[in-house]
Amino acid sequence: MFTIVKIIGVALAFAVIVLYNRKLVKFVAKSGTGVENLIGRTLGRQLKRLDDYLERQTTLANNNVYGKISSYYNYILVNLELKKDRITVPTFIVFICILTTGLTIGVLVFTANILLSLASFFLFFYLITVTFNFLALLRYEKREGMIMDVEDLLSMGIGRGVKNAITVYTPSIHPLIRPYFEDFLDDINHHGKTFNASMDTLNHNLGDGFSHFSRLAKQYEAKAEKGSENMFSPIIETNQRKRDVRQRVNKRFSELKTNFMLAAACVFGFVFFLVYTDERGRELILHNTWGNISLLTDVMLIAFVQGVITTLKAKFLQ
């Protein structure tokens, strides 16, 4: 009897869906758009406000916590060239949060353990940030080399003025950073921006490595006296030395990294051995919340050390 009622119920529901199909679809679509708009509006407004707030805090004093967070993520965005796609720091952080929340929900569903999920939230957030930072640092090293090449080129041809030197040497600049120099020329030639404002934008896009040159360029343009192009000559020699030192340091750091990864592999091999040979060990490490959290902390520590080594290697010249 109950089965018959069920079948009739399902049939009726099917009939209603078929009959009111178009209305239903319209309703769902409308409500979907409405909800999307509402979320977009609210979240967009909040993100814009947060973006403005961070920008203001960073401009006022870049030594406070907001300034540090903002410059950390801004650095990642600059080096991964995400600025071109108009991605701001808050949107990037929200993106990482959403990704982390998704992964944490996965862990929560899989393990049904709230403490472990909380720990895994921090771990995922940290790991994702570190991964992005790692990618950014790898790019940074390459960009640093490109920027040094540009500085050398421009310093040699600075006698005719910074803008002219950029115009002449733009085709010789590496394609990855060439668009920024084209934008610089475009800003001056077509958008009516001043030299200093355009140079600031160029420096903002190229990051810290270009700061010294940009400062000298502004000084030179302000008072281009006879012989003042001499102030650029130390740049060539310094860059030469930097390349030399960078090569040596890279070699040393690759050795350090190999040693570290081998040591970490040995530790995890030992943990693997413990888990598969000892029942009590398996229970304590795999089937215990604190054991799981301890394992997560170990992964976090290894990621941290890896991050520290990569940061030291990439940024020691700053």
Partner 1 sequence: MTIRTIMMVVMTLILIYVVWDTAKYLGLIGNKTASKKAVRDIRKEQSVIKNRARVIKTVVFLTWVDENYGFKVNTYTREDLSTRIKRLNIKVKSLNRHAKVTELLGVFKTLSFLGFLATSLIFFTVGGLFTLAPIPFIFTRQLFVWLSDYTLYAEDIEMEQEFGEFYFTLHSKLMSDSPNRLAPFIKDFIDAHNSMYHKRDNAIMYRFAIDFITLLELYQDDTLALKELRKKYTSVTFINFSNIAIQRLQGIDNRDKLLSYAIELQRKTNEKIEVKASKAIFKGTIAIYAIFFLVIKYVIFAIYLKAEVMLSFT
Give the 3-state secondary structure of residue 174.
coil
| Least spacing, CB of residue 176 vs partner 1, in Å | 20
CB nearer to partner 1: pick between 178 and 204: 204
Interface with partner 1, residue 69, by CB under 8 A: no
Q: Give the Cα separation of 249 and 204 in Å (integer).
A: 27
Q: Give the Cα separation of 169 and 162 in Å (integer).
A: 11
Residue with the two structure tokens 């340091």: 249
The residue from 137, 203, 292, 296 that contacts partner 1 (CB under 8 A) is 203
Using the rule CB under 8 A, give the single segment among 6-14, 147-155, 167-175, 233-241 that binds partner 1. Answer: 233-241
CB nearer to partner 1: pick between 12 and 60: 60
Q: Give the Cα separation of 193 and 202 in Å (integer).
A: 12
Residue 81 is given by DSSP the state T
Q: Give the Cα separation of 5 and 13 in Å (integer).
A: 12
What's the CA angle centered on 159, arms 154 and 164, to 5 degrees?
Answer: 60
| Nearest of 253, 248, 177, 245 to residue 209 by alpha carbon | 177
What's the CA angle centered on 297, arms 293 and 299, to 5 degrees?
Answer: 115
Residues of this chain, 102-121, that bind partner 1 according to CB under 8 A: 108, 112-114
**Residues with Cβ < 8 Å from 246, sequence gap 6 or more?**
141, 144, 145, 317
| Least spacing, CB of residue 74 vs partner 1, in Å | 9
Interface with partner 1, residue 281, by CB under 8 A: yes
**Helical segments of 20-161, H only:** 21-60, 65-79, 89-111, 114-156
8 Å CB contact between 288 and 294: no
Binding mask 6-35 vs partner 1 (x if CB under 8 A, - otherwise)?
Answer: ------------------------------
CB nearer to partner 1: pick between 16 and 115: 115
Interface with partner 1, residue 287, by CB under 8 A: no
Using the rule CB under 8 A, give the single segment among 32-40, 162-170, 175-183, 301-309 that binds partner 1. Answer: 301-309
CB nearer to partner 1: pick between 12 and 197: 197
8 Å CB contact between 272 and 192: no
| Least spacing, CB of residue 216 vs partner 1, in Å | 8
CB nearer to partner 1: pick between 80 and 202: 202
Binding mask 243-262 vs partner 1 (x if CB under 8 A, - otherwise)?
Answer: --x--xx--xx--x--xx--
| Least spacing, CB of residue 52 vs partner 1, in Å | 17
What letter represents residue 173's amino acid? Answer: I
8 Å CB contact between 78 and 205: yes
Contact footprint for partner 1 (CB under 8 A):
62-63, 108, 112-114, 196, 200, 203-204, 207-208, 211-212, 214-216, 218-219, 222-223, 225-231, 234, 237-238, 241-242, 245, 248-249, 252-253, 256, 259-260, 263-264, 267, 270-271, 274, 278, 280-281, 284, 294, 298, 301-302, 304-305, 308-309, 312-313, 316-318
